[in-house]
Amino acid sequence: MEKNAERRRTKKAECRRTKISIAEENEEGPTEENKESRAEENKESRTDQAEECKESRVEENEERRRTRKAKQRRAKKAEWRRVKKAKQIRTQKAERRRTKKTKRRRMKKD
């Protein structure tokens, strides 16, 4: 769990760093001779980075969904156990009442 959280944080930090570096490059402005090649490289790197960030978000969402579903399953099972136990206790109490009543009736007859 901690390992996954750490991985998410590093991935997000990586995404932020690349966004910042791209923004800084755009502010500085490339020289005229390298302008076209840099623009192409930036475009490729941006699309690659965007895809990686999107994939990591998708993975994080899937992981959250899996953990949420597992948590719901555990809660459901625990609820069923509680219900089962309560039902068992009710039947035991009813059985005791019945046996007490029959004992009393027998005592009265004798």
- Judge whether residue 30 has pLDDT over 80: no
* Residue 9: predicted pLDDT: 73
Whether the CB-CB separation of 8 and 56 falls below 8 Å is answered with yes
Digit-coded pLDDT (tens) for 63-77: 999 999 999 999 999
pLDDT interval class at 26 (50, 70, 90): low
Indicate the number of domains in the chain.
Answer: 1
- Structural domain range at position 54: 2-109
Contact 66, 18 (CB under 8 A): no
What pLDDT, on the 0 to 100 scale, is given for residue 41? 75
Q: How far is it, in rounded angstroms, from Cα 25 to Cα 19?
A: 10
Q: In this model, does residue 88 exceed pLDDT 80?
A: yes
> So what's the pLDDT on residue 99?
92
pLDDT, average across residues 33-45: 72
Q: What pTM value is reported for the model? A: 0.45
